[in-house]
Amino acid sequence: MFDQAPEAAAAAAQATPSRPRIVIVGAGFGGLAAAKALAGIDADVTLVDRRNYHLFQPLLYQVATAGLSPAQIATPIRAIVADAANVRVLMGRVNGIDATRRMVRLEERELPYDYLVLATGARHSYFGRDEWEHCAPGLKKIDDATEIRRRILTAFEHAETEEDADKRRRLLNFVVIGAGPTGVEMAGAIAELARRALASDFRTIDPRQARIVLVEAGPRVLAAFPQKLSAWTARTLGKLGVEVMLGKAVTSCDAEGVVVGDERIPAATVIWAAGVAASPASKWLSADADRAGRLKVLSDLSVPGHPEIFAIGDTALSLDENDKPYPGLAPVAKQQGEYVARLLKARLQGKTPAGRFRYRDFGTMATIGRGAAVAKFSERFQVTGFIAWVLWGLVHIFFLIGFRNRLTVLADWLWSYVTFQSGARLITGKNSE
Amino acid sequence: MFDQAPEAAAAAAQATPSRPRIVIVGAGFGGLAAAKALAGIDADVTLVDRRNYHLFQPLLYQVATAGLSPAQIATPIRAIVADAANVRVLMGRVNGIDATRRMVRLEERELPYDYLVLATGARHSYFGRDEWEHCAPGLKKIDDATEIRRRILTAFEHAETEEDADKRRRLLNFVVIGAGPTGVEMAGAIAELARRALASDFRTIDPRQARIVLVEAGPRVLAAFPQKLSAWTARTLGKLGVEVMLGKAVTSCDAEGVVVGDERIPAATVIWAAGVAASPASKWLSADADRAGRLKVLSDLSVPGHPEIFAIGDTALSLDENDKPYPGLAPVAKQQGEYVARLLKARLQGKTPAGRFRYRDFGTMATIGRGAAVAKFSERFQVTGFIAWVLWGLVHIFFLIGFRNRLTVLADWLWSYVTFQSGARLITGKNSE
C-alpha cells in the first residue's frame, strides 16, 4: 500500500475529484429554474421536494372552481429534468439544516451539500388565528384546491335538498377573504360557476341567487396594481355579481360563517386568500427573518454569514436598490433561481460573479372572469378588459410546463368559452363517499 | 266553496293529477340509462346518487396508472340530464327502503315512490377477509384510483432513496390479485408505466427491474373469454414483463406483502381485482340474494312480490332463458335500464309491457397494453392484437359521455402512443404533504 508514489495518489485523486454538490430545496418556480439552469455543469445537483410534481400555482384557482383538472397544471419533476444527467430528484420532506456540517436533514437521512439553495415557498397565514384554517381553507396545494372545489359544489348540492330557507341561504353564501389576485380570481370564478355553468342544473334552487362576497381589510382590491386598475376590477366584479366589501376586517370565522365588521354573514363556504407566510427555512438556519418569516438575504441572495447558502422566491426577503422588497411573484422567483445558477457557475469556474440580483419586471396581470382581466406592463402601459384577458391567457399557456398541458388547458378554455360549461365538476375526497 | 259542481272539482283534480313518482337509486350505467330513457314522460323521475358524477368505470384503471385524470372519465350527473325537465337529481346516500310505505330512506329525509329502480352497483369483496382492504385496495371509485396511483408512484420514489437492497426489492414488487379484465389491465398498465413512462426518470433505480405479478386462483386469465384469447393474453402479458401465476390463491396479505401458495412475495403495492359483491340493496328489502349479494329478480327485472320495484346491473341476479346469470358488464346494465324504462312507460300508458328482458350481446373486450387487446364478438369472430386494441379504444371513446371527455381522452391516448409518456403522474391525497 505504501509503495505508491505520492504523485500517483494525487493523480488518482485528481481523476475522480469529488464534484461540488449543490442541493436545491423546493421545486417551485425558483428551485426549478435554478435546477434547469444548472443542467450539464460539472457539479452534482440534487433537487428535493416533498411532492413529485411542479405545480403551476397561478392556475390553481381554476382547479378549485372546477375549470381544470390537477394534472393539467402539474408536471412530474422527474420528467422535467429527465435529460439533465447531473440533476437528481429526491422526493422527501426537509425538516432541518445543519449549516456547520453542511447537511440538509430529511426525515430518514441527511444530504451533504457544498452549496444550498432554499426555495421552499410560502403557506397561507392566518395572522395568529390558525383555528380559522378549518372553516376557511387557503389555496396553495392541489389538495387545497380539490377540497375547496368539494366545498363549493357540495354547498349547491345540499342547498338543492335543504327545505329550511335560512339554512339554504347559508349554503348559497360564499365568502372570499382577501382581494389580492387569488381572492379576485376565486370570487370571479365562483360567480361565473353559479351564474353560468350551474345555472340550469338544479330544479329547486337557482344557483344564480348565490351571494358571493369578497372581503378586503385594505381600501381597495388588487392593492399591488395601480389605483385605476383596482377601480376597474371592483366595478367588473360588481357586474359579475360579486359583492365587494372594502376596508372591513373579518373578526370571527367559524363553521356557521364569518363576522365582517358588524355584520354576521352565515356561509357554508369561506375561502382564505388574505395572507401568506414563508416556510420555516429561516428557523432551520436560526437566521434573521421579517414578520412574514422571509429570510433576509444579501444583494446576491446569499444568507448573511453563509456565502454558500442562498434563499430565493417566497422564502426570501430580497431588497432592490432602493431597499424595497421584491414582490412574491413567480417571475421574481424564476429570475432569482436563474441568477443563483449563474452565480454558482461563475464561482465554480473560479470567475468573479456578476453584480447584485436585479429583477426585470415585464408586468403583472390578474383575471376577473370571462373576457375580463387587468394587466400592468409599465406605469404608462396598462390594459383592461378583453385584450388583457387574452394576453393573460396567452402568457399563462406559454409559461405552463409541458406541451400536453398547454394543449389541453387551451382546449378546455376554448371549450368553456364557447359552451359556458366547466370541465371538472367533481366532488372527490373527504365525505365524498 | 260548496257551490262548485262536483264535475268541476273532478276536472280540476284531473288537471293536476298527482303524477307517478319514479325513483332511481344509482347513476351508474344502468340507472343513468333508465333516467335518460324516461326523460320527457309524464312522470316525476328522481335520480339519487351519493356522488355528483357518473363514472365511466371501464377506464378507471387508467386513472390508477396515471394515464388519465379523474375528470376525463367522470361527468356531472346534473349536466347529463339538465335538459330533461321531469328528471330531478339528488345527491344523497340511501340507507334503507320502506317497501310497505313505499319510501326510500336517505340520511336526512325520506323520498316517496310509486316505482323504484335499484341500480346501486357493486363493491369489491374480500371473501370474508375484509382486513385485506388496507393492504390491497380495490378499484371501484375515483378515490380508489387516486389512492392506487399514489401507492404505485410513491413506491418508485421510495425505492430511489432506499439504500437497503431487500427493502428496495419490496418497493419494486407489484402484485395484482385476480386476472379478470381489471386485473389484466392493471398489471399491463403498471408494466408499461415501469418499462416506458418512468424508464429514464430515475438515477439510482431502474424502474424496468420492477417485478409485476398477476395472481389468479383459477386456471386461466380472463376466464369469461374463450380459451384461445386467455392463452394469447397470458403470453402477451409475459412479453410485457408481467409474471402470471395461475391456479394459486393468495393465503395471506399484510403491509409487508402477500403469500401466494408457498411463496412469500414482499411487496409495497398490492391491488385487489379478485371479486365484487353487490351493494346492500337486497338487505334493504330483506329479499332473496345469491352469495355475492345480488338480488334475485324475475324475468322482467322486478323483485319477487314487488312488481313496483326493479333491480338492474350489478345489483341484480338476472337469468337468461337458460337460467344462466347475465354477466356484470356495463352493456348488460345499460340494456336493463332501457328495458325497465320501456316497461314503465308501457305500464303508465296502460299498455301491456313487452316480454322478458333479453340481453343483446355485441361482444366483450379487454386490453393488455400498447397495441394489445382481445375482443370476442361471437364464437366465430374473435380478434387479438393491434386491431382489437384500436377497436377497444374506439368503442370506449364512443361510449364515454360528453364530447369534451371524448376529445381529451383521445388526445391523451394519441399523445401517449407517440411519446410513450403518461399524463397524470401526480401523487396526491394521504401523506402527499
Residue of B nearest to A425 (CA): B76
Residue in this structure with the C-alpha cell 440534487, named with its chain if needed: A46
**Rounded to 10 degrees, what is the CA torsion of A166, A167, A173, A174?**
160
Q: Which helix (H) or strand (E) holds A154?
A: helix A142-161
Q: Which helix (H) or strand (E) holds B413?
A: helix B403-419
Per the CB < 8 A criterion, the answer to whether B124 and B140 are in contact is yes
CA distance B149 to chain A (A): 12
Mean pLDDT value of segment B286-315: 94
* Distance, CA of A293 to CA of A291 (rounded, Å): 5
* Distance, CA of A339 to CA of A281 (rounded, Å): 20
* Distance, CA of A331 to CA of A28 (rounded, Å): 11
**CB A411 to CB B412 under 8 A?**
no
Considering only the beta carbons, identify the residue of A141, A161, A425 that sits closest to B92.
Answer: A161
The grid coordinates of residue A134 equal 378549518
Chosen for mutation from B63, B69, B400, B422 (greatest number of chain A CBs closer than 10 Å) is B69
Chosen for mutation from A44, A50, A60, A69 (greatest number of chain B CBs closer than 10 Å) is A69
pLDDT 10s per residue in chain A (433 long)?
A: 344 444 444 444 444 458 999 999 999 999 999 999 999 999 999 999 999 999 999 999 999 999 999 999 999 999 999 999 999 999 999 999 999 999 999 988 899 999 999 999 998 888 888 889 989 999 999 999 999 999 999 999 999 999 999 999 999 999 999 999 999 999 999 999 999 889 889 999 999 999 999 999 999 999 999 999 999 999 999 999 999 999 999 999 999 999 998 899 999 999 999 988 888 899 999 999 998 899 999 999 999 999 999 999 999 999 999 999 999 999 999 999 999 999 999 999 999 877 999 999 999 999 999 999 999 998 889 999 999 999 999 999 988 887 778 888 888 888 888 777 777 788 887 644 4
**CB B161 to CB A428 under 8 A?**
no
Banded pLDDT at B250 (limits 50, 70, 90): very high
Three-state SS at B46: strand
The grid coordinates of residue A315 equal 422564502
Chosen for mutation from B48, B78, B80 (greatest number of chain A CBs closer than 10 Å) is B78
* Distance, CA of A313 to CA of A301 (rounded, Å): 10
Pairing state of beta strands B306-311 and B115-118? parallel
Kindly report the number of other CB atoms within 10 A of residue A186's CB atom. 29
Pairing state of beta strands A21-25 and A44-49? parallel
Closest by Cα among A99, A122, A126 to A110: A99
Chosen for mutation from B50, B419, B427 (greatest number of chain A CBs closer than 10 Å) is B427
B130-274 matches B19-50+92-124+277-348 in CATH topology: yes
In chain B, where are the structural domains located? 19-50+92-124+277-348, 130-274
Kindly report the number of other CB atoms within 10 A of residue A254's CB atom. 13
In degrees, to the nearest 5, what angle opens at C-alpha B383 toward C-alphas B381 and B385?
A: 175
Give the CA radius of gyration of chain B: 24
The grid coordinates of residue B364 equal 366483450
* Distance, CA of A103 to CA of A97 (rounded, Å): 6
Residue of B nearest to A78 (CA): B201
CA distance B246 to chain A (A): 34
CA distance B398 to chain A (A): 19
Three-state SS at B71: helix
Q: What are the start-end ranges of the E strands in A330-411?
A: 364-369, 372-376, 382-385
Per the CB < 8 A criterion, the answer to whether B73 and B66 are in contact is no
**CB A146 to CB B90 under 8 A?**
no
User: What pLDDT score does A17 carry?
Assistant: 57
DSSP assignment of A66-77, as one string? TSS-GGGGEEEH
For residue range B319-364, list pLDDT tens digits in order: 999 999 999 999 999 999 999 999 999 999 999 877 999 999 999 9
* Distance, CA of B115 to CA of B119 (rounded, Å): 13
Per the CB < 8 A criterion, the answer to whether A153 and A425 are in contact is yes
User: What pLDDT score does B410 carry?
Assistant: 84
A130-274 belongs to which CATH class?
A: alpha beta
**CB B428 to CB A146 under 8 A?**
yes
Per the CB < 8 A criterion, the answer to whether B77 and B54 are in contact is yes
User: What pLDDT score does A214 carry?
Assistant: 98
* Distance, CA of B362 to CA of B346 (rounded, Å): 26
Closest by Cα among B116, B101, B100, B102 to B46: B116
Give me the long-range contacts of A399-403 (CB less than 8 A, separation at least 24). Answer: A399/A56, A399/A58, A399/A330, A400/A56, A400/A59, A400/A73, A401/A54, A401/A56, A401/A75, A401/A80, A402/A75, A402/A79
Per the CB < 8 A criterion, the answer to whether A146 and A428 are in contact is yes
Per the CB < 8 A criterion, the answer to whether B427 and B154 are in contact is yes
User: What pLDDT score does A5 carry?
Assistant: 45
Residue of B nearest to A66 (CA): B71
Q: Which residues of A touch B157 (CB under 8 A)?
A: 52, 91
Q: Which residues of A touch B421 (CB under 8 A)?
A: 79, 404
What positions of A carry a catalytic annotation? 185
Mean pLDDT value of segment B52-64: 95
**Cβ-Cβ contacts under 8 Å for B151 (sequence gap 6 or more):** B137, B268, B269
Per the CB < 8 A criterion, the answer to whether B237 and B214 are in contact is yes
Considering only the beta carbons, identify the residue of A74, A160, A432 that sits closest to B426.
Answer: A74
**CB A161 to CB B90 under 8 A?**
yes
CA distance A417 to chain B (A): 13
Residue of B nearest to A111 (CA): B161
Q: Which amino acid is at A269?
A: T
**CB A428 to CB B70 under 8 A?**
yes
Residue of B nearest to A79 (CA): B201
Q: Which residues of A touch B78 (CB under 8 A)?
A: 198, 201-202
Pairing state of beta strands B94-98 and B103-106? antiparallel
Q: Which amino acid is at B381?
A: F
- With 0-12 / 13-18 / 19 or more C-beta atoms within 10 angstroms meaning exposed / middle / buried, residue A219 is exposed
CA distance B427 to chain A (A): 6
Q: Which residues of A touch B52 (CB under 8 A)?
A: 153, 157, 425-427
Instruction: List beta partners, residue A302.
Output: A310
* Distance, CA of B125 to CA of B139 (rounded, Å): 11
For residue range B385-401, list pLDDT tens digits in order: 999 999 999 999 988 88
* Distance, CA of A8 to CA of A15 (rounded, Å): 10
Tell me the count of A-B CB pairs closer than 8 A. 127
**CB A423 to CB B404 under 8 A?**
yes
* Distance, CA of B429 to CA of B433 (rounded, Å): 8
Residue bearing the bigger pLDDT, B88 or A408: B88
Three-state SS at B269: strand
Considering only the beta carbons, identify the residue of A108, A142, A198 that sits closest to B428.
Answer: A142
**CB B69 to CB A69 under 8 A?**
yes
CA distance A88 to chain B (A): 6
**CB B69 to CB A74 under 8 A?**
no
Q: Which residues of B touch A198 (CB under 8 A)?
A: 78
Three-state SS at B25: strand
Percent of chain B with pLDDT over 70: 95
User: What pLDDT score does B17 carry?
Assistant: 57
* Distance, CA of B157 to CA of A48 (rounded, Å): 12
Residue of A nearest to B432 (CA): A51
**Model confidence at B101: pLDDT above 80:** yes
CA distance B395 to chain A (A): 22
**CB B427 to CB A52 under 8 A?**
yes
- What are the backbone angles phi and psi of residue B369, rounded to the nearest 5°? 175, -165
Q: Is B185 among the catalytic positions?
A: yes
Residue of A nearest to B63 (CA): A71
Q: Which residues of B touch A161 (CB under 8 A)?
A: 90-92, 108-109
For residue range B158-183, list pLDDT tens digits in order: 999 999 999 999 999 999 999 999 99
User: What pLDDT score does A2 carry?
Assistant: 41
Report H helices in A299-355.
330-348
Residue of B nearest to A44 (CA): B203
User: What pLDDT score does A421 carry?
Assistant: 77
**Cβ-Cβ contacts under 8 Å for A311 (sequence gap 6 or more):** A117, A118, A119, A281, A295, A297, A301, A303, A318
Q: Which amino acid is at A266?
A: P
Chosen for mutation from B95, B168, B425, B433 (greatest number of chain A CBs closer than 10 Å) is B425
For residue range B178-203, list pLDDT tens digits in order: 999 999 999 999 999 999 889 889 99
* Distance, CA of A137 to CA of A258 (rounded, Å): 13
Measure Cα distances from A275 to A130, A293, A313, B8 in Å: 12, 12, 16, 67
CA distance A325 to chain B (A): 29
Considering only the beta carbons, identify the residue of A91, A202, A427 that sits closest to B157.
Answer: A91
**CB B404 to CB A424 under 8 A?**
no
Per the CB < 8 A criterion, the answer to whether A141 and A50 are in contact is no
User: What pLDDT score does A8 carry?
Assistant: 45
Q: Which fold has domain B19-50+92-124+277-348?
A: FAD/NAD(P)-binding domain (3.50.50)
CA distance A72 to chain B (A): 8
Q: Which residues of B touch A432 (CB under 8 A)?
A: 51, 143
* Distance, CA of A345 to CA of A349 (rounded, Å): 6
Residue of A nearest to B200 (CA): A82
Catalytic residue among B7, B110, B185, B256: B185
Considering only the beta carbons, identify the residue of B109, B200, B408 that sits closest to A411.
Answer: B408
